[in-house]
Structure 1
Amino acid sequence: MRLTLIIYSLSYGGAERVISIMANYWAARGWQVSLLTFEAPKKAQFDLDPRVSYIPLNIAKDSNNTILGIWNNFQRIQILRDAINNSHPDAVISFMSTTNILTLLATRGLKIPVIVSERNDPAEKSLGRNWRQLRQWTYPFAARIVFQTKRAKNYFPSQVQASGCIIPNMVLLPPIAKESSPKLLKERSLIAMGRLVRAKGFDLLLQAFAQLKDCYPEWTLTILGEGSLRSDLELLRNQLGLSDRVYLLGAVSNPYEFLKQADIFIMSSRFEGFPNALCEAMACGLPVISTDCPNGPREIIRDGIDGILVPNENVSALAAAIKRLISDEEERQRLAARAPEVTERFNLEKIMGMWEELLTQVITNIHQTEITKNDIVNYRI
Structure 2
Amino acid sequence: MKIVIIQVRGFLNGSGGTEKIGCYLANNLAKNNFEVEIATNEHTSGNPFFPLDEMVQITNIFDKQHIQKHLLDLHNYKGKNPFSWMCHKVVKKYTKLRNKILLKKMGGIDGLNTFNLSHRSQAWNKYIIAAKPDLIITMNIGSLLEITYENNYEIPIINSVNGRPDYDYSDLLWYRSENEMRLIKESYKNLAAIQVLFDSYNNYLPDTFTGQAVTISNPVLQVNDSEIIDHCKEKERFKIINVASLVISCKQQDIAISVFSGVANKYLNWDLHFWGIGNDLEKLQNQVKVLGIEDRVFFNGFTSDPLEKMRESDLFIFPSKYEGFPLALVEAMSVGLPSVGFETCSGVNELIEHTANGFLAKDENAMRESLEVLMTNKNLRQQMGIIAHEMVKKYNEKDIMNKWLDLITQFRKN
TM-score range, shorter chain: 0.7 to 0.9
* Residue 115 (structure 1) aligns with: 158
Q: 1:84 to 1:342 in 2, by over 3 A?
A: farther
Is residue 174–residue 283 contact of structure 1 (8 Å, CA) maintained in 2? yes
Is residue 196–residue 202 contact of structure 1 (8 Å, CA) maintained in 2? yes
| 1:337 matches 2:386 | yes
* Residue 3 (structure 2) aligns with: 3
* Residue 140 (structure 1) aligns with: 189
1:316-341 deviation line (CA, Å, top 9, x unaligned): 11111111111100001111112222
Match for 1:247 among 298, 303, 309?
298
Q: In the aligned structure 1, how far is the partner of 2:224 from the partner of 2:175? A: 36
* Residue 24 (structure 2) aligns with: 21
* Residue 241 (structure 2) aligns with: 191
Gap runs ≥5 in structure 2: 72-102, 104-108, 226-235
Q: In the aligned structure 1, how far is the partner of 2:195 from the partner of 2:287? A: 38
Match for 2:284 among 233, 237, 246?
233
Q: In the aligned structure 1, how far is the partner of 2:393 from the partner of 2:223? A: 13
Q: In the aligned structure 1, how far is the partner of 2:290 from the partner of 2:41? A: 39
Q: Cα distance, 1:190 vs. partner? A: 0.9
Q: Cα distance, 1:133 vs. partner? A: 0.9
* Residue 47 (structure 1) aligns with: 51
Q: Aligned residue pairs: how many?
A: 354
Is residue 115–residue 143 contact of structure 1 (8 Å, CA) maintained in 2? yes
What secondary structure, in the 3-state scheme, does the structure 2 residue paired with 1:45 have?
coil
1:283-317 deviation line (CA, Å, top 9, x unaligned): 11212222223421232223222222222xx1111
Is residue 2–residue 31 contact of structure 1 (8 Å, CA) maintained in 2? yes
Q: Cα distance, 1:134 vs. partner? A: 0.8
Q: 1:133 to 1:127 in 2, by over 3 A?
A: farther
Q: In the aligned structure 1, how far is the partner of 2:297 from the partner of 2:210? A: 43
* Residue 215 (structure 1) aligns with: 266
| 1:126 matches 2:169 | no
Match for 2:61 among 50, 57, 63?
57
| 1:97 matches 2:141 | yes
Is residue 342–residue 349 contact of structure 2 (8 Å, CA) maintained in 1? no
Is residue 146–residue 164 contact of structure 1 (8 Å, CA) maintained in 2? yes
Q: In the aligned structure 1, how far is the partner of 2:118 from the partner of 2:207? A: 29
Match for 1:256 among 295, 307, 314?
307
Q: In the aligned structure 2, how far is the partner of 1:172 from the partner of 1:9? A: 23
Q: In the aligned structure 2, how far is the partner of 1:169 from the partner of 1:57? A: 28
What secondary structure, in the 3-state scheme, does the structure 2 residue paired with 1:158 have?
coil
| 1:321 matches 2:328 | no
| 1:77 matches 2:121 | yes
Q: TM-score, normalised by structure 2?
A: 0.78
Q: In the aligned structure 2, how far is the partner of 1:87 from the partner of 1:173? A: 36
Q: In the aligned structure 2, how far is the partner of 1:260 from the partner of 1:75? A: 49
RMSD: 2.6
Deviates more, 1:325-334 or 1:5-14: 5-14
Q: In the aligned structure 2, how far is the partner of 1:101 from the partner of 1:45? A: 25
What secondary structure, in the 3-state scheme, does the structure 2 residue paired with 1:212 have?
helix
Q: In the aligned structure 2, how far is the partner of 1:9 from the partner of 1:163? A: 27
1:160-189 deviation line (CA, Å, top 9, x unaligned): 26643322211122599xxxxxxxxx9311
Q: In the aligned structure 2, how far is the partner of 1:230 from the partner of 1:170? A: 29
Is residue 189–residue 208 contact of structure 2 (8 Å, CA) maintained in 1? yes
* Residue 36 (structure 1) aligns with: 39
Is residue 174–residue 256 contact of structure 1 (8 Å, CA) maintained in 2? no
Q: In the aligned structure 2, how far is the partner of 1:79 from the partner of 1:141? A: 18
1:177-222 deviation line (CA, Å, top 9, x unaligned): xxxxxxxxx9311111112221111111111011011011221111
Amino acid corresponding to residue 292 of structure 1 in structure 2? E
1:66-124 deviation line (CA, Å, top 9, x unaligned): 35533432332122223333433221111222222113337x33321111122223344
Deviates more, 1:212-221 or 1:349-358: 349-358
Q: In the aligned structure 1, how far is the partner of 2:392 from the partner of 2:251? A: 23
Match for 2:344 among 293, 312, 322?
293
What secondary structure, in the 3-state scheme, does the structure 1 residue paired with 2:162 have?
coil
Amino acid corresponding to residue 355 of structure 1 in structure 2? W
* Residue 228 (structure 2) aligns with: none
What secondary structure, in the 3-state scheme, does the structure 1 residue paired with 2:391 have?
helix
Pairing 1:369-380 to 2, within 5 Å after superposition: none
* Residue 233 (structure 2) aligns with: none
Q: 1:74 to 1:137 in 2, by over 3 A?
A: same
Q: In the aligned structure 2, how far is the partner of 1:251 from the partner of 1:295? A: 25
Q: In the aligned structure 2, how far is the partner of 1:112 from the partner of 1:17? A: 25
Q: In the aligned structure 1, how far is the partner of 2:3 from the partner of 2:137? A: 8
Q: In the aligned structure 1, how far is the partner of 2:180 from the partner of 2:277? A: 27
Of all paired residues, the percent bearing the same amino acid is: 27
Q: Cα distance, 1:49 vs. partner? A: 1.8
Q: In the aligned structure 2, how far is the partner of 1:116 from the partner of 1:238? A: 44
What secondary structure, in the 3-state scheme, does the structure 1 residue paired with 2:221 have?
coil
Is residue 185–residue 208 contact of structure 2 (8 Å, CA) maintained in 1? no
Q: In the aligned structure 2, how far is the partner of 1:225 from the partner of 1:38? A: 27
Amino acid corresponding to residue 194 of structure 1 in structure 2? A
* Residue 172 (structure 1) aligns with: 221
Which has the higher Rg, Structure 1 or Structure 2?
Answer: 2
